[in-house]
Structures are given as C-alpha cells and as structure tokens.
C-alpha cells in the first residue's frame, strides 16, 4: 500500500504516525492535508516519487483498530488505474467482517476515496483461496474461477472445492480433471468450465438386416475366377435353403435422459421400432427378431415382402438370356430348353416346349410336354419319373418309371417300368434298360434298325455292384496290413520313440475304424443290389403290335434275337432262356 490516512492531534504527530506505518523517513513521503481542527489533523500520506504519485493507481485497505474496522479508499491519479468496485466489494466480503455496515461501504466505494468505519472492533480474518462459481441460466455449464488468498491464507483443496460446487447446487457433470488442474495451476481469476450438463442419449431406431441381396438381379454372367466368366450362368435369382436366416430385426433402444448440472432431467428421444416384413414360406421366432425360410428355393423382396418360392418359373425359353439353372426346388419352363444349357433342380422339372441338346437333372419328376431332340448330346436324369412325347438321340435315366410316345435312337435307363404308348408308342433303335417291364406298341422298325431292350437290373446297378465288390477286396487287403502293423507295434512297444509309436498306433486304429464302417455300409448295399439282380428274371417285355427283325431282347443272362417280325407278344425268361407267347397286355 503506497497511501495511508493518518489522524492525530497535531500535524507533526500525524506525520510521525505515517513514518511508523511505512517504516521510513518522512523524506520519502508526501503529505496532503485532508482536514484540520485545533484538536485533530488528518493527513494523506503518499509513498513514492512525485512521478509515481502523479500517476498512482486507485487502491484500498482495511484496518482493524481499537475502536473498529476501517476502510480506506484512494482514488487514481493521472494515468493510474481507476478503482475496481467489484474487486473491492469482493475483498470485503471475503474478510468475513462481522456487523458490516453495507451502506457505509457502498457509499465509500461509490465516492472512490476516503476513510470510514465499516464495522465494530474485532479480530481480523485472513482468508485463503476460494472458488467463484457461475452457473449458466440454462444450467448447461458451470464456470469457476480460483480466487487468490491473502498473505498467509490457506490453499483450497479438491474436497472443499467439490463441497462448494455441491453447495451451489452443482451435482452432475463435474469434470474432476479440470477442477484439479484449476486448483493446482494457481492461475487466479482464470475462468474455466468445470461442469457440463450430461447430454441425453437418444434411443436408436430399430432396423432390419437382410441376409440376402434385395436389389433386382442383374442377369450378368457369373465370374468363375481368373478374369473369366460363365456366360451360361446368369444372376437371375438368389437361392436359399430351408431354415436359412433371411432377416434379422434389431430392436430399438430406449436411450437415457440427460441431466443439467443441478440434476434436472433433460428429455431424450426413444428409438422407434420397425416391423418385420410380411412373407410367404417364412417364419418368425417368438420375439420376432429373426425370419427364416421354411423351404428351400429362391428368395425375393418385392413391395416390402419377403417371399421364398420352391418353384422357379421361366416365362419363355431357357436360352442365353436365362442361362444355366441350379435351383433347390422345382423348375417350370413355359418355352423350350436350347442346346448347351443345363437345368438342375432338387425337385421336379417341367418343360412345355422342346428340349434340345441340353442337360436336365432333377431330384423329382421330369415332364417334357413336347419332347427331346438330343442330337446325341441331350441328357435327362430324374430321381423320380420321366414323361415325354418323344426322346430322339438323347440319353434319359429315371429312378422311377418312364412314359414316352416314341424313343428314337436313344439310351434309356429306367428303375421302374417303361411304357411307350400313344399315337406311335414305339422304341426305335438305341438301347433301353428297364428294371421291371417294358410295354410298347412297336419295338424296332421296318428298316430293321438295330434296337436293344433289356429288362431286369439296370446296367449302372451291375456296374455299381462290381465296384463295391472290388472295394470289399481292397478293404480286406487293408485290414490284413493293419493286422501286420498291430503285430509290429506290439513287438516294438518301449523300443521305438514313443511319439512315433503313438502316431502309428492312432493312425492304424483310425484306418481300421473307417474300413469297418465302410464294410458295413457296402455289405448292406451289395445285398440290396444282389437281390435286385437275382430277381431280374421276373422282368417282361410286352409288344402290343409288332417287334421288328433286328431287335435284341435281353432278360437275365439270355438274349433273344428277333429275325422275323413278331406280332402281339410278351417276352419272358423261363428255364434259362428268353421265350415269348401271346401278349399279356390288352391294346385298350
């Protein structure tokens, strides 16, 4: 403090008091008379050079004297800084003065200079660091300033600072790191955001995750690697299997409300749920979060509907615009199947038009409402029955039965019976093998074209039996070798490296298990095939009109060569040879 009001009975006594206050000789002081009476002198003692005094900043001081607490205010001079009334009032408030006369205090602060008694006599309170707290009107932020202590005042620790915030109503969103940094930095009066409202968390809307491509199919050729594409396999549908996951529904979340720094709630926006799409051949789990296919086939997403169909319909021809088809279900074609194309279906296949030199492989029945012009390259394979108007220069295999009007120079294999009846009802040329019976109007032709028909076991079943018998021989040889390995391991146990011994032992045991399992399965299949072949002699060939010369009829292990046309006859196996008699079937 470079200024002080001093009061004494005489001017000299007042100057002596000033010297004591500043602790210096009066030569370093300047004095101004504030008031004088015969019994009292009040001087303003100023410390400093004339230049310093001429531009002195405004200042103030509080003095605890025997008759009370006094406030002295000194106005600015020249270019000095004016009085900061807010700082003055804040300082007085922090002094915790008991019985403070606020009106006198405010009057003196407004005048900007003078000395006045502001409270009765009391001991001085030395204040320490403090926190000035400013809460935004919307309670979204809290600003704090660290206030400097008086000389000898205590530092403010974190717990007390937290208590002050809580005492101001601040209970949420306090940034502990910022508050600790503010207390440790000692950057007094620096304004910091020490608390922020906790923002609400809006809920997330529910959504659907599609596990298939919803986009319209491109019809582009399929890539097969190496920069190559298969121009006959086009992107026309997306296959699915029964039980396959199609759509997953992610439930909406509730979210959570926020809170102002005083703990008042800030509303949040809950997420909105979405509904599963409708669909056919699909089902939902209990909480409707998963949609799965109830059948194999193809999946489509049309008009917000998910449908699975086990029938793939082609309106028109199966040509380069459609490409090859590999479908888990049934296929229906309203047109023709052009040469070079392949249709595979786990169900049935229906073709309204002609099948050219193409391939049809079905797990169920195959129906060709017109016929096949195979060009010696057409193939039909059916797990069930085959029905066609005609098969010309093709190869057809049916595990079930077959019905045709005419077969021309084709290879037919039928697991059931074959019926060739219609306008012609003929088997002309080629080779026909049928497990049960053949019924036809005509077999062969007047041109004596070579035609071969066989009833009994299908050739591929005989080939399968031969393969299985060779496999049984191989397994028997392997088991002998495994016995030799067991003998060797018994002799070398404890002598051979243990890790190597264990490896050989485990390998031998696994190979033995695999071989025994294969033997059991092969024995069952061999028995079934052998039974079928043993009863192949029961097959018959029925000709309702004529079997022409040049035809060979095979039943069991005998062949009947037709040298002259035979009318209305049934061929059977009897006493080790093929014989015939009147037809056992009627022409009706």
The C-alpha atoms of residue 168 and residue 96 are separated, in whole angstroms, by: 19
The whole-angstrom separation of Cα 414 and Cα 412 is: 7
pLDDT of residue 218: 45
Domain ranges of the chain: 3-119, 130-196, 207-309, 461-536
CB atoms within 10 A of CB 398: 26
Regarding pTM above 0.85, the answer is no
**Which of these, 161, 124, 126, 160, lies nearest to 144 by C-alpha position?**
161
pLDDT of residue 320: 84
Q: How far is CA 282 from CA 236, 294, 342, in A?
A: 21, 5, 29
pLDDT band for position 459 (50/70/90)?
low
φ, ψ for residue 169, nearest 5 deg? 95, 0
Provide Rg for the chain, Cα atoms. Answer: 55
DSSP, collapsed to helix, strand or coil, labels residue 98 as coil
- Model confidence pLDDT, tens digit, residues 190-248: 999 999 999 999 999 999 999 988 765 544 555 545 555 444 444 467 788 899 999 99
- Residue 153 backbone dihedrals phi, psi, to 5 degrees: -75, 155
Q: How far apart are the first and last CA of the chain?
A: 138
538-568: string of b/e by CB count within 10 Å (b at 16+)? Answer: ebbbbbbbbbbbbbbbbbbeeebebeeebee
Q: What's the pLDDT tens digit per position in 409-435?
A: 999 999 899 999 888 999 999 999 998
48 pLDDT higher than 50: yes
* Closest of 257, 250, 218 to residue 234, by C-alpha: 218
Mean pLDDT computed over 103-115: 91
B/e letters for 246-283, b = 16+ CB within 10 Å, e = fewer, are bbebeebeebeebbbbbeeeeebeebeeeebbebebbe
Cα angle vertex 347, ends 341, 351, to 5°? Answer: 45
Residue 59 near residue 1, CB atoms below 8 Å: yes
Which residue is it, tokens 């996951």? 245
pLDDT average, residue stretch 280-287: 91
For residue 86, pLDDT over 80 is answered with: yes
Tracing tokens 């299985």 back to the chain, one arrives at: 468
What mean pLDDT do residues 73-77 have?
A: 93
């Amino acid at each position: 403090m470079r200024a002080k009001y001093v009061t004494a009975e005489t001017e000299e006594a007042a100057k002596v008091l000033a010297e004591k206050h500043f602790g210096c000789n009066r030569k370093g002081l300047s004095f101004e008379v504030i008031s004088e009476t015969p019994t009292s002198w009040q001087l303003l003692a100023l410390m400093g050079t004339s230049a310093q005094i001429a531009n002195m900043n405004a200042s103030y001081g509080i003095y605890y004297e025997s008759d009370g607490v006094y406030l002295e205010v000194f106005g600015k001079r020249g270019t000095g800084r004016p009085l900061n009334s807010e700082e003055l009032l804040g300082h007085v408030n922090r002094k915790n003065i008991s019985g403070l006369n606020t009106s006198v205090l405010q009057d003196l602060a407004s005048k900007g200079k003078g000395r006045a008694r502001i409270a009765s006599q009391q001991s001085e309170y030395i204040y320490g660091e403090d926190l000035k707290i400013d809460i935004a009107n919307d309670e979204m932020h809290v600003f704090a300033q660290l206030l400097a202590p008086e000389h000898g005042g205590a530092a403010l620790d974190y717990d007390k600072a937290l208590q002050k915030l809580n005492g101001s109503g601040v209970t949420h969103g306090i940034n502990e790191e910022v508050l600790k940094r503010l207390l440790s930095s000692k950057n007094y009066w620096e304004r910091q955001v020490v608390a922020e409202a906790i923002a609400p968390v809006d809920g997330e809307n529910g959504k659907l995750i599609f596990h298939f491509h919803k986009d319209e199919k491109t019809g582009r050729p399929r890539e097969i690697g190496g920069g190559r594409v298969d121009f006959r396999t086009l992107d026309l549908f997306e296959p699915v299997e029964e039980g396959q996951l199609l759509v997953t529904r992610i439930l909406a979340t509730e979210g959570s409300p926020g809170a102002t720094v005083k703990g008042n709630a800030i509303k949040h926006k809950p997420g909105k749920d979405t509904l599963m799409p409708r669909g056919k051949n699909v089902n939902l789990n209990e909480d409707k979060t998963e949609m799965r296919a109830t059948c194999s086939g193809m999946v489509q997403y049309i008009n917000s509907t998910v449908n699975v169909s086990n029938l793939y319909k082609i309106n028109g021809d199966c040509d380069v615009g459609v490409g090859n088809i590999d479908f888990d279900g049934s296929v229906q074609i309203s047109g023709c199947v052009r040469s070079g194309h392949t249709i595979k279906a786990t169900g049935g296949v229906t073709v309204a038009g002609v099948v050219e030199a193409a391939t049809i492989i079905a797990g169920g029945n195959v129906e060709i409402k017109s016929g096949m012009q195979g060009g010696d390259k057409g193939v039909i394979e059916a797990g069930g029955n085959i029905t066609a108007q005609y098969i010309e220069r093709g190869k057809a295999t049916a595990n079930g039965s077959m019905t045709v009007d005419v077969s021309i120079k084709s290879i037919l294999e039928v697991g059931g019976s074959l019926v060739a009846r219609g306008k012609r009802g003929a088997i002309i040329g080629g080779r026909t093998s049928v497990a049960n019976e053949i019924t036809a109007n005509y077999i062969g032709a007047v041109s004596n074209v070579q035609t071969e028909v066989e009833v009994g076991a299908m050739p591929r079943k005989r080939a399968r039996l031969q393969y299985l018998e060779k496999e049984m021989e191989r397994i028997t040889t392997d088991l002998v070798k495994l016995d030799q390995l067991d003998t060797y391991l018994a002799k070398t146990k404890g002598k051979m490296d243990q890790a190597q011994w264990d490896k050989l032992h485990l390998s031998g045991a696994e190979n033995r298990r695999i071989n025994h399992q294969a033997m059991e399965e092969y024995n069952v299949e061999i028995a079934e095939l052998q039974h079928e072949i043993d009863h192949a002699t029961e097959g018959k060939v029925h000709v309702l009109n004529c079997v022409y010369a040049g035809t060979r009829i095979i039943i069991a292990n005998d062949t009947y060569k037709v040298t002259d046309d035979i009318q209305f006859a049934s061929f059977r196996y009897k006493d080790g040879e093929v014989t015939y008699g009147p037809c056992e079937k009627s022409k009706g």
